Structures are given as structure tokens and as C-alpha cells.
């Protein structure tokens, strides 16, 4: 039996009016009281920011960034990425002030995010909603889930909402598509994207939703900052975005040994949305020739001339995508627009085009979402996902030499030193050094290299980093013939896939100054230079620059092949794969 209720519409002639009254009162109460916190982590931008748009519905907004020990732990975040983060925060704060007469509140705490939220929520009853961008790294997933559960339990009136804006697709939705299979190449990605968004007449052929504009208006709650200042000592408000050299005072010993001048001297990219949009215009919107002719494998890991040392042959937009200074939908849209200015230009190889690059990015995110933590684990327990290889026992001497750029292979060392100094390395350079560490010369576990990249690169992006390392180690759940090994001395190959000939020698001379005056003939293999000549050039190999720390000749291919055969999940084919026989 249903309960009979006076308020049931059929029995209550004033129900509509009453509901209207209640709604009005509720809305006016919300408008006068409720505060929404926009919790910035990634997504350091105003455009295409779903959390900010959600907050714009609220009368009182607080934009918040929290420095916790997990942010300023230099074990996880290299100094260049930290500098990039600070610049991005500075830009965000400036923009919020200019555009909305608002602010970005920066707080510092020595406790966890969860504890910080507890302090905030306990002391201010007007906080009704916390919004943030979804972060799919395993660490962030666990952290956000735990805070969410805590808030639900302890503060049931407060909504804790995430929005997906870091990727082209809603990752949850995609991996739950009917008939979803882990994508492993461009074709599967296009199919998946068409399934999600449908066709379009634009050059990409996929109807990716356009990026959203920044909210027109935001009303800020300026009281909260004063309240935070009165709270307990565990949480403090920073008066301004700190400079790198001030971090030692603010955070303790983490940054005591940094060389600020060196970082500023080498940095290629200034952080922030403003710079991201400027670069997008310069490299994509105003550069249709470059966009329409872009072929990733033809770009070079070395600069084309000395004057170009600071400018990559690609777009250089990856650091901005990683920190969310640039929305990936904004990037896609700009590529579309650029193609449109060239009528009748067809994308003849989508895979190597800029579209392709963004699809690979998406693919790695989707794989991470679908596979979970095992995506990045080097374990025998899940060989269906990554092929298992018994890498050589960890060799600290080899690993340290690789990390410090002291392997005795000038090309490899130049690339590693560039990454350490600038926080950036071209994609093909990353291929060269990761191949060298794993199946190429050192046969060391790829996870070591992955972690070094994660810390040092300013564009480090968990899913992309992991996906690319799996690829280069030759164990990815997608195509990568293991016998395609890059030469660490690429000048000797007639047609290097690394495009070394586009300035490789100058690149080595710049980053390995020990060899600045060494003869070009021996520049990538200095150990072959006769000792008498070494004396003449004033560089003794083994003293002024190391001898090669591992064999140049690749002896690992056979080991790799045997590993694959022994450790593969599925039973071998009953008959060997057919081969064309010579007559």
C-alpha cells in the first residue's frame, strides 16, 4: 500500500506554489551562502575548465591550490617542472585577478590534502561544494577517492565532484563502451573515437566537441582567506606565488641545493595558460604550412642550427598539455582550424599528423584507465598486458651513468644532459635513450628509466610516460617489433631514423663540452680516435670523457627473443608463421 500524503500533487492544490516557494527560498539561501571551492591541481587554466564553469553557477567561489608534502617532494618532481608549475600558478593568479577581480589562494600545509580539507570544512560552514579535474594516475585516484569518502562521511552536505577535462574523451565512458577492446593502434583509436563522437566533415573526420569558453563572470568569496589565516598552524596562506630561490625558506631543505640561474638559463618553456595560448597561436593557428606538412618521424631530436637550440622541431606544447595550461580539445580544435585555412588539403597520413599525436596520447590514457595499476607494473602476474622480460640484475653503476649522461656514448649523454638541464628532450631522443637503457645496450629494467623521466621532464604525464616506455622497451601491448633497435652512434647509419644529420654534431658539442673541439669523424664514437690524436685535441678518453660503459654491439636481441618465447602467455602456434620461401 502506498502511503497517502497530503502533499501529493493530486491531493494538494497548493503543491505547485509550495514547491515554487521552497525552491525560491532554497535558491536564495544558496546564493547568499554557498561557497564552491575550485581545487586546482592540473587544469591550470581558465578556458575549457569544467570545474570553473560548474563553480560559476555558485555565488561564492574560492580558487585554491595546495602545496602539500606530495607536491614539493623533490624525489618526485624535478626542479624544472617545479619552476614550470610556479610560473603556471603565477599566470593563473594574475588572470583570475585581472579577469574576475578574484584570486588564487595558495595554501601550504605539512599535512595531507585530506587533513587540509578537514580543517577548511570544519571552520567554514558555507563551503558546500568542492570541484576539481579528474586525475587518472593511480596515486591521484586513490587519494581523491579517499578524500571523497571522507567528505561524504564527515560532511554529508558537502559535494565533492570531479570533471573530466584532461583528455578528449570521458575515460570512464569510453572503457565502458559496448564491445570495448584495449586500443593498440591508430585504426582502433579512430574507430573508438567515431563510436564516441561520430563523423565530421572537418579534416580529422571525427566530431570532437569544441573547447568551452571561460566563464564570463565569477564571484569570489574573499572572506575565506582571512578565516584560513586564523586557523591552526597546520595550514598557512602564502602571500604570493613563491620564487624558486625562496622555496628553501618556505618549504625547508628540499630545495637548498638548487641553482636558480642555471634553470633560468636553460629553460625552454615558460609555464602558464597565457604562454600556452601564445604558443598555440604561433605554432598551430598561424602556421598552417607546418601543421599540414607535419610528419612526426621526420622531426628531429636535434636542433637544425645553433640558433635553434631553444626551439624544438615539434610544437613544444606537451608541457602545457601535461599541466593543463592548454586543453587538449583546444589543441585539436586549433589543428582543425589550421587545416581549414588550406582548402582541399587532405590529411594523407593521420597517424603521423598532429591529430595522430593527440590520438596516441588519448590511447595511453584509455589503456591506463582500462588496465589500472598493472599498466605500469613490471610483473609476471599479468603477461597479457605487458610482455614479461627477465631484465639483467639492477646495475647501479650503469643506471647512474645513464642518468648522469656519462655512458661514454656522446649522443646518449648529450640527450640525457639536455633533459637534466632543461626538463625537455625531443620524442625521438627519448626513443634513443630508452632503447639504450633497455633492449638496446644495457638490458636494465624499463621502470628505472620511467621514473627518471617522470621526475625530470617538465611535460611528464603518467600515462604517456608509461605507455611510451613500454613501447620502447619492446614489451607494450601494442605493436613494436623488438628487433628495431636504434643506433647510439646514429651518424654512421646512412639514414638514421633519429634524423641525427639535422644538427646532431652541433648538439653533441653543445651538451658534451668535453668534446667541443673533438673531430667530427669521431664525435659519436670518441673511443675509436687514436690516442695520439686524443692528446692533440687535449681530450683523453677514459680520463676527460668516459670510455663506453657497455658494449656498442647489440648482444641483447637474442636474449630478448628467448625471453618472449619462454614467457608468452599463449601457447605457441602449432605451425611456425609462414614465410616467403626463396625459389
313 close to 300: Cβ distance less than 8 angstroms: yes
| 546 Cβ contact list (under 8 Å, min separation 6) | 401, 406, 407, 408
Taking the complex as a whole, the smallest distance from the CB of residue 134 to DNA amounts, in Å, to 24
Shorter beta-carbon distance to DNA: residue 148 or 427: 427
161 close to 130: Cβ distance less than 8 angstroms: yes
Shorter beta-carbon distance to DNA: residue 120 or 328: 328
Q: What angle do CA 219, 222, 225 make, to 5 degrees?
A: 140
320 close to 276: Cβ distance less than 8 angstroms: yes
Q: What angle do CA 14, 19, 23 make, to 5 degrees?
A: 150
From residue 398 to residue 427, the character string flagging contacts with DNA as x (rule: CB under 7 A) and all else as - is -----------------------------x
What's the number of CA atoms in the CB half-sphere (13 Å) around residue 136?
A: 28
Is 357 a binder of DNA (CB under 7 A)? yes
- Please choose, out of 122-130, 262-270, 449-457, 558-566, the segment that lies near DNA by the rule CB under 7 A: 558-566
Of residues 518, 536, 342, the one with CA closest to residue 413: 518
Taking the complex as a whole, the smallest distance from the CB of residue 464 to DNA amounts, in Å, to 9
Rounded CA-CA distance 6/201 in Å is 56
182 close to 477: Cβ distance less than 8 angstroms: yes
Residue 555, Cβ neighbours under 10 Å: how many?
10
Rounded CA-CA distance 557/420 in Å is 29
Rounded CA-CA distance 97/293 in Å is 40
Shorter beta-carbon distance to DNA: residue 18 or 484: 484
What's the number of CA atoms in the CB half-sphere (13 Å) around residue 148?
A: 12
- What part of residues 289-308 is at the interface with DNA (CB under 7 A)? 296-297
Shorter beta-carbon distance to DNA: residue 26 or 483: 483
List 153, 343, 543, 579, residue binding DNA (CB under 7 A): 579
Is 434 a binder of DNA (CB under 7 A)? no
Shorter beta-carbon distance to DNA: residue 36 or 465: 465
Shorter beta-carbon distance to DNA: residue 358 or 421: 358
CA torsion 119→125→128→129, rounded to 10°? -20
Strand boundaries in 42-91, DSSP class E: 60-67
From residue 437 to residue 476, the character string flagging contacts with DNA as x (rule: CB under 7 A) and all else as - is ----------------------------------x-----
Shorter beta-carbon distance to DNA: residue 62 or 389: 389
From residue 471 to residue 500, the character string flagging contacts with DNA as x (rule: CB under 7 A) and all else as - is x------xxxxxxxxxx--x-xxxxxxx--
Interface size with DNA, residues (CB under 7 A): 50
Task: For 409-455, give the DSSP string.
Answer: -HHHHHHHHHHHHHS---HHHHHHHHHIIIIITT---HHHHHHHHHH
Taking the complex as a whole, the smallest distance from the CB of residue 573 to DNA amounts, in Å, to 7
Rounded CA-CA distance 94/240 in Å is 11
- Please choose, out of 20-28, 351-359, 451-459, 507-515, the segment that lies near DNA by the rule CB under 7 A: 351-359
Shorter beta-carbon distance to DNA: residue 60 or 487: 487
Q: Where are the alpha helices (DSSP H) in 267-353?
A: 273-280, 288-293, 318-323, 328-341
From residue 164 to residue 193, the character string flagging contacts with DNA as x (rule: CB under 7 A) and all else as - is -----------------xx-xxxxx-----
List 269, 360, 453, 507, residue binding DNA (CB under 7 A): 360
Shorter beta-carbon distance to DNA: residue 79 or 498: 498
Rounded CA-CA distance 136/162 in Å is 11
Shorter beta-carbon distance to DNA: residue 156 or 198: 198
Taking the complex as a whole, the smallest distance from the CB of residue 187 to DNA amounts, in Å, to 6
Taking the complex as a whole, the smallest distance from the CB of residue 149 to DNA amounts, in Å, to 35
List 35, 95, 327, 351, residue binding DNA (CB under 7 A): 351
Shorter beta-carbon distance to DNA: residue 463 or 496: 496
Is 551 a binder of DNA (CB under 7 A)? no
Taking the complex as a whole, the smallest distance from the CB of residue 392 to DNA amounts, in Å, to 20
- What part of residues 505-544 is at the interface with DNA (CB under 7 A)? none
Is 431 a binder of DNA (CB under 7 A)? yes
Order the strands of the 159-163 sheet from edge to edge: 159-163, 127-133, 35-40, 60-67, 104-109, 235-237
Taking the complex as a whole, the smallest distance from the CB of residue 353 to DNA amounts, in Å, to 8
List 153, 178, 343, 570, residue binding DNA (CB under 7 A): 570
| 344 Cβ contact list (under 8 Å, min separation 6) | none
Taking the complex as a whole, the smallest distance from the CB of residue 231 to DNA amounts, in Å, to 47
Shorter beta-carbon distance to DNA: residue 345 or 497: 497
Is 60 a binder of DNA (CB under 7 A)? no
- Please choose, out of 131-139, 514-522, 541-549, 567-575, the segment that lies near DNA by the rule CB under 7 A: 567-575
Rounded CA-CA distance 273/290 in Å is 22
Shorter beta-carbon distance to DNA: residue 2 or 579: 579
Terminal alpha carbon distance of the chain: 86
Looking at the DSSP bridge assignments, the partners of residue 65 are 40, 106
Taking the complex as a whole, the smallest distance from the CB of residue 39 to DNA amounts, in Å, to 32
Residue numbers of the site for DNA (CB under 7 A)?
A: 181-182, 184-188, 296-297, 351-352, 356-357, 360, 427-428, 431, 471, 478-487, 490, 492-498, 561, 564-565, 568-570, 572-573, 576-580, 582
Amino acid at each position: 500500500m502506498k502511503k497517502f500524503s497530503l502533499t501529493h500533487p493530486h491531493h494538494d492544490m497548493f503543491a505547485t506554489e509550495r514547491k515554487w516557494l521552497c525552491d525560491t527560498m532554497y535558491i536564495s539561501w544558496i546564493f547568499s551562502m554557498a561557497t564552491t571551492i575550485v581545487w586546482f591541481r592540473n587544469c591550470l587554466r581558465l578556458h575549457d575548465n569544467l570545474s570553473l564553469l560548474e563553480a560559476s553557477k555558485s555565488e561564492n567561489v574560492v580558487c585554491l591550490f595546495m602545496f602539500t608534502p606530495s607536491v614539493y617532494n623533490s624525489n618526485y618532481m624535478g626542479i624544472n617542472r617545479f619552476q614550470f608549475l610556479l610560473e603556471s600558478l603565477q599566470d593563473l593568479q594574475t588572470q583570475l585577478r585581472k579577469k574576475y577581480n578574484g584570486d588564487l589562494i595558495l595554501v601550504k600545509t605539512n599535512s595531507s590534502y585530506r587533513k587540509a580539507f578537514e580543517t577548511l570544512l570544519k571552520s567554514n560552514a558555507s563551503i558546500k561544494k568542492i570541484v576539481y579535474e579528474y586525475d587518472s594516475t593511480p596515486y591521484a585516484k586513490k587519494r581523491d577517492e579517499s578524500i571523497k569518502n571522507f567528505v561524504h562521511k564527515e560532511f554529508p552536505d558537502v559535494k565533492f565532484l570531479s570533471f573530466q577535462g584532461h583528455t578528449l574523451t570521458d575515460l570512464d565512458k569510453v572503457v565502458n563502451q559496448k564491445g570495448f577492446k584495449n586500443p593498440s593502434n591508430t585504426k582502433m583509436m579512430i574507430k573508438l573515437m567515431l563510436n564516441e563522437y561520430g563523423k565530421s566533415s572537418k579534416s580529422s573526420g571525427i566530431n570532437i566537441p569544441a573547447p568551452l569558453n571561460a566563464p564570463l563572470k565569477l564571484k569570489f568569496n574573499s572572506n575565506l582567506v582571512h578565516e584560513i589565516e586564523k586557523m591552526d598552524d597546520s595550514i598557512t596562506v602564502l602571500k604570493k606565488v613563491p620564487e624558486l630561490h625562496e622555496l628553501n625558506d618556505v618549504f625547508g631543505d628540499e630545495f637548498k641545493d638548487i641553482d636558480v640561474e642555471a634553470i633560468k638559463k636553460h629553460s625552454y618553456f615558460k609555464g602558464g595558460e597565457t604562454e600556452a595560448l601564445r604558443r598555440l597561436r604561433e605554432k598551430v593557428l598561424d602556421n598552417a604550412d607546418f601543421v599540414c606538412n607535419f610528419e612526426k618521424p621526420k622531426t628531429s631530436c636535434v636542433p637544425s642550427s645553433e640558433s635553434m637550440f631553444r626551439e624544438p622541431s615539434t610544437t613544444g606544447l606537451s608541457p602545457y598539455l601535461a599541466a593543463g595550461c592548454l586543453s587538449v580539445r583546444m589543441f585539436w580544435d586549433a589543428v582543425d582550424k589550421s587545416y581549414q585555412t588550406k582548402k582541399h588539403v587532405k590529411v594523407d597520413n593521420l597517424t603521423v599528423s598532429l591529430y595522430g599525436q593527440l590520438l596516441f596520447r588519448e590511447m595511453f590514457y584509455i589503456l591506463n584507465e582500462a588496465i589500472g595499476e598493472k599498466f605500469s607494473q613490471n610483473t609476471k602476474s599479468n603477461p597479457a598486458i605487458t610482455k614479461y622480460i627477465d631484465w639483467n640484475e639492477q646495475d647501479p653503476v650503469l643506471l647512474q651513468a645513464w642518468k648522469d649522461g656519462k655512458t661514454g656514448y656522446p649522443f646518449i649523454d648529450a640527450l640525457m644532459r639536455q633533459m637534466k638541464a632543461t626538463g625537455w628532450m625531443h620524442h625521438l631522443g627519448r626513443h634513443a635513450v630508452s632503447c639504450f637503457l633497455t633492449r638496446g645496450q644495457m638490458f636494465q629494467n624499463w621502470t628505472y628509466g620511467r621514473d627518471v623521466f617522470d621526475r625530470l621532464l617538465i611535460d611528464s604525464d603518467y600515462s604517456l610516460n608509461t605507455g611510451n616506455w613500454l613501447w620502447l622497451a619492446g614489451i607494450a601491448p601494442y605493436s613494436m617489433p623488438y628487433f628495431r633497435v636504434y643506433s647510439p652512434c646514429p651518424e654512421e647509419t646512412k639514414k638514421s631514423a633519429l634524423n641525427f644529420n639535422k644538427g646532431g654534431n652541433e648538439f653533441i658539442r653543445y651538451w658534451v663540452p668535453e668534446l667541443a673541439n673533438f673531430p667530427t669523424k669521431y664525435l659519436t664514437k670518441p673511443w675509436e680516435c687514436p690516442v695520439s690524436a686524443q692528446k692533440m685535441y687535449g681530450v683523453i678518453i677514459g680520463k676527460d670523457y668516459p670510455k663506453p660503459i657497455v658494449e656498442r654491439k647489440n648482444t641483447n636481441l637474442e636474449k630478448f627473443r628467448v625471453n618472449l618465447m619462454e614467457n608468452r602467455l599463449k601457447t605457441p602456434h602449432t605451425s611456425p608463421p609462414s614465410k616467403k620461401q626463396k625459389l
